[in-house]
Structure 1
Amino acid sequence: MDGTRTAPRLLDTLAEIDGDWLESVLHAAGHSARVREFAIQPIGAGNVSDTARIVLTTDGDAPASIVAKFRPSTASSHAHGVGSGAYSIEAGAYRLFAAATDGCRIPRILWLAGTDDNINLVMEDLSRVTRAGDQVAGCGVEDARRVITQFARLHRTFWPLASKDAPPWAIRMPSAGDYWVPVLESAVSQVAQRFADLLPDRHIALVAEAATVSRAWHDLRHPAMTITHGDPRVDNVLFDDDAGEAILIDWQVAGVRNPMHDVGYFLSGSVSIEDRRTSERELLDLYADEFGATRGYVMNRIVDDYRIQLISGLMTTAAAVALLPDAPPVNRLLLALLERNCAAVEDWGSIAAIRRRM
């Protein structure tokens, strides 16, 4: 391969991928190889991105497969990506983590380029050594321990971080509220209609009540914050059983927030109601130990923040009802999340706690 090869051009769709582009990506990642054949295998439903595994046949030093993540091809999903800043946020997050010497485990990035309305993200393919999380089924307590450990490592790496000192791409909750609060408010009636026969009346009412405190919740002030994942559902996690680790993926809503945003979001949506009730105190203890009390984030603060921040899951799930199609696979996912989210918010009296904090 020519050592003077130019950087990969920014593509719009997976269909534009060709051998020359793949060779330039491999070269940028330090691999000398000529691509003889390749096959593109779509991954996922394409709700927030078009993602594919690319199986390679090469001459030279190169991985057998890679994963490419591009902007979604559907107009509505792309409009959401542009409106929410998802492309620049994810690109900024991966660049930040590449510069960090410690922190959570993420996939190795081979190539990354992006703008406000596009992204080309090429990563190592971990499918042969990991298993993906299943959002509808949820995860067990042992997997939850692995995820909570990664959260603590992520959060402590950038703690404490004031909003004014955070990277410009990082979501700030008050400005995020300008986008998400109207979406959540519009979703209230859709939740009631779509899940009328599937959710109890008190949970449908809870969604409506959550919408009434959404603006205030987004505007809450916190003494110290950190970089957070923002959307840590278990289907945004890979599990490396040999290493006993979780790997966090999909950073499209990374931002500067209270650390318990991630912990509450995950435990309220990705762990069964029974397992959460039985194990969440143990998992909060694990988080505190891994984070390190000497850093100033101690257990009583963690519990107080958790009570308020776990509503992050319900806020996001309910808003998603307004953004995602009314289709059986989507509704199974949303229902699983809503059932768990509502139970957690009830258990912890989160809405009342937010009103007190207001």
Structure 2
Amino acid sequence: MLSRLDEIDTDWLTAVLRQSGHPDAELTGFVLTPIGAGNVSDTVRVDLTHRQAGAEPPSLVCKFRCSGEQAHAHGISSGSYYREVGSFPAVAGACRTPRLYWIAGGYDNINLVMEDLSRVSRAGDQIAGCDLRDARAVVGELAKLHRTFYPMAAASAPDWAMTMAATADYWSGAIANSLPLIRDVAAGDISEAEMATVAAAVAAAHRWYSLPVTRATLTHGDPRVDNILFLDHDDGSVEAVLIDWQMTGWRNPMHDVGYFLSGSVTRADRRAHERDLLAYYAAVFGDGYPPEQITQDYRVQLLGGLMTTIAAYSLIPLTDPVKALLLALLRRNLSAAIDWDSIAAIEG
């Protein structure tokens, strides 16, 4: 297993290809191109030069531990590397993910090699948000993922799966540490009422993470639109591809749906269409999760987006691009939490 992206060489890439269904692979060169912001990992596209012209695949995506000290420390302490090593193979086939070529690692490292969709897909734009056609595709994939493992008893949850109660101290601590940072860097961009909601969420965080889980499945955990790729097909349909499985966990299904709709859809579109999207989720999911229960769970679980956004202020370096990303999320998360009076619902 490699420790850094600069350790990648042709021998290692050739070995990866040979053990993943390309026994005659032989590479003579490659080029690395960074992808993404590298908040909790270092990810690159690897363009391959094969000895035999036209050999497949022409490129791969490699994801390794983050080279930034603060983000790497978070990757270890939060279990992000270990979780993705376990979850990525487990969810393959339950919903649309990139093809997996190789994965190895543990608590302090990850080597993930997967299908490169960067040239044939659209990357989600968190700041711009997600349009309704794309949102529908995401909600459908989440329903497929959830129904595959639902219902999942606590005793059946994999050991790598994040659980809310087990992480309550970690996340509520990070959330508490974030409050002064948000007051410092975001106070001029959100209203006094919104800042009061941030403070209320901070006060309620440990209680929210410790709520009993009576309906559970495997959840993605971080389905922001910039953790999703979109494939546009000739028939006009859109396919959502879920990536970044670092927060996969045993949770209520609505954790993912609330997280996505409260953070990745514009406030106007969410308000106008979220109930239709919840109905679509129910239709794809099928029997076993009544629509009225979905709506009740959604009200409480959409706080996952707000809690994660608040925590991020103290967990990752606040560069200008990160601050812009977090502000876009925070504004939408707060709007949803206020619209649904979600903090009050914790006591319901």
- TM-score w.r.t. the length of structure 2 is 0.97
- 1:192 deviates by 0.9
Aligned partners of 1:231 and 1:253 also within 8 Å: yes
Task: Give 2:84's aligned residue.
Answer: 90
Q: Distance in 2 between matches of 1:260 and 1:115?
A: 28
Once residues 43 and 157 of structure 1 are traced to their aligned partners in structure 2, the CA distance between those partners, rounded to angstroms, is 30
How many Å apart are 1:327 and its aligned residue?
Answer: 2.2
What aligned pairs does 1:315-354 form with structure 2 within 5 A after superposition?
A: 315-354=307-346
Secondary structure of the residue aligned to 2:318 is: coil
Kindly provide the amino acid, as one letter, of the partner of residue 110 in structure 1: Y
Aligned partner of 2:218 in structure 1 is 227
Counterpart in the other structure of 1:112: 103
2:147 maps to 1:153? no
1:36 aligns with 2:37: no
What amino acid maps onto 1:220 in structure 2?
L
Indicate the residue corresponding to 1:5 in structure 2. none
| Match 1:247 to one of 241, 247, 260 | 241
- Structure 2 residue 281 is the aligned partner of structure 1 residue 287: yes
For residues 173-196 of structure 1, give each alpha carbon's deviation from its aligned partner in whole angstroms, at most 9, with x where no partner exists.
101112101000111111111111
**What is the deviation of 1:124?**
0.6
Q: Secondary structure at the match of 2:346?
A: helix
CA displacement, residues 76-131 of structure 1 (integer Å, 9 cap, x when unaligned): 11110000011110011112124xxx521101000111111110000010112211
Q: Cα deviation per residue 1:109-160 (whole Å; 9 max; x = unaligned)?
A: 0011111111000001011221100000011011000000000000000000
Q: Is the 8 A contact 2:3 2:109 kept in 1?
A: yes
Does 1:47 find its partner at 2:39?
Answer: yes
CA distance in 2, matches of 1:97, 1:340: 28
Between the aligned partners of 1:354 and 1:19, the Cα distance in structure 2 is 53
Deviations 1:193-233 (A, max 9, x none): 11111111111111110011111111111322000000110
- In structure 2, which of residues 155, 161, 185 is the aligned counterpart of residue 170 of structure 1? 161
SS of the residue corresponding to residue 168 of structure 1 reads coil
Q: Which moved more, 1:237-246 or 1:84-93?
A: 237-246
Aligned residue identity for 1:158? F
Moved runs in structure 1, 4+ residues, more than 6 A?
none
Once the two structures are superposed, the pairs formed by residues 178-217 of structure 1 within 5 Å of their partners are 178-217=169-208
- The answer to whether the Cα contact below 8 Å between 1:86 and 1:252 also exists between their aligned partners in 2 is yes
Is contact 1:53-1:66 (8 Å) kept?
yes
Residue 125 of structure 1 pairs with residue 116 of structure 2: yes
Q: Which moved more, 1:271-280 or 1:102-111?
A: 102-111
Q: Distance in 1 between matches of 2:213 and 2:42?
A: 36
Higher mean alpha-carbon deviation, 116-125 vs 30-39, is at 30-39
Q: Would you say how many aligned residue pairs link Structure 1 and Structure 2?
A: 342
Q: Distance in 1 between matches of 2:312 and 2:339?
A: 23
Cα RMSD for the two superposed structures: 1.0
For the 8 Å contact 1:213–1:355, the answer to whether it is kept is: no
Following TM superposition, by how much is the alpha carbon of 1:164 offset from its aligned partner in structure 2, in angstroms?
A: 1.6
Task: Determine the C-alpha separation between the residues in 1 that align with 2:223 and 2:268.
Answer: 20
Q: Is the 8 A contact 1:26 1:62 kept in 2?
A: no
Alignment of 1:6-85 (within 5 A): 10-31=1-22, 32-60=24-52, 61-85=55-79
- What percentage of aligned pairs have identical amino acids? 53
2: CA distance, partners of 1:307 / 1:47 = 29
**Distance (Å, rounded) in 2 between the aligned partners of 1:21 and 1:327:** 34
Indicate conservation of the 8 Å contact 1:264/1:313, yes or no: yes
Q: Secondary structure at the match of 1:238?
A: strand
The residue number in structure 1 matching 2:303 is 311
Alpha-carbon shift at residue 244 of structure 1 (Å): 2.0
Tell me, in whole angstroms, the C-alpha distance in 1 between the residues paired with 2:100 and 2:263. 28
Paired AA for residue 312 in structure 1: G
Distance 1:247 1:95 in 2: 15
1:28 Cα deviation (Å)? 1.2
Offset at residue 46 of structure 1 (A): 1.2
Aligned residues of 1:47 and 1:77 also touching (Cα < 8 A)? yes
Question: Contact conserved, 2:70 with 2:317, CA < 8 A, in 1?
Answer: no
The two structures have a TM-score, normalised by structure 1, of: 0.94
Alpha-carbon deviations, 1:19-65, whole Å to 9, x = none? 10111011111112211111011111211100000000102443110
In structure 1, the partner of 2:263 is: 269
Task: State the match for 1:238 in structure 2.
Answer: 229
Write the letter of the residue equivalent to 2:172: V
> Does the CA contact (< 8 Å) of 2:70 and 2:316 recur in 1?
no
Equivalent of residue 137 in structure 1, options 122, 128, 133: 128
Task: Give the Cα separation in 1 of the matches to 2:210 and 2:309.
Answer: 19
